[in-house]
Amino acid sequence: MPIGRPKAPLKLTIEERNELVNYRRRRKTSHGLATRAAVVLACAEGLDNQSVATRLGLSKATVGK
């Protein structure tokens, strides 16, 4: 049984998803913004925070923030 609050499903529109993918790909995007975009995209796939943290090499606290 999961511990903590249940995580609401994250649904992105096609436009939102495209914009986040563009943030990840652009060279001029700041590192922080690109990382946040990657976290949101991974969460939209339905992954839990621990899986996202492992995939992106981040701490679980960073993903949860």
Q: How many CB atoms lie within 10 A of CB 35?
A: 18
Q: pLDDT per residue over 5-41, tens digit each?
A: 777 888 999 999 999 999 999 999 899 999 999 999 9
Q: What is the pLDDT of residue 2?
A: 64
Q: What is the pLDDT of residue 5?
A: 75
Q: What is the pLDDT of residue 42?
A: 96
Give the closest residue to 20 by CA, choosing from 28, 12, 11.
12
CA–CA separation, 6 and 4 (whole Å):
6
CA–CA separation, 19 and 51 (whole Å):
23
Residue with the bigger pLDDT between 8 and 49: it is 49
CA–CA separation, 33 and 30 (whole Å):
5
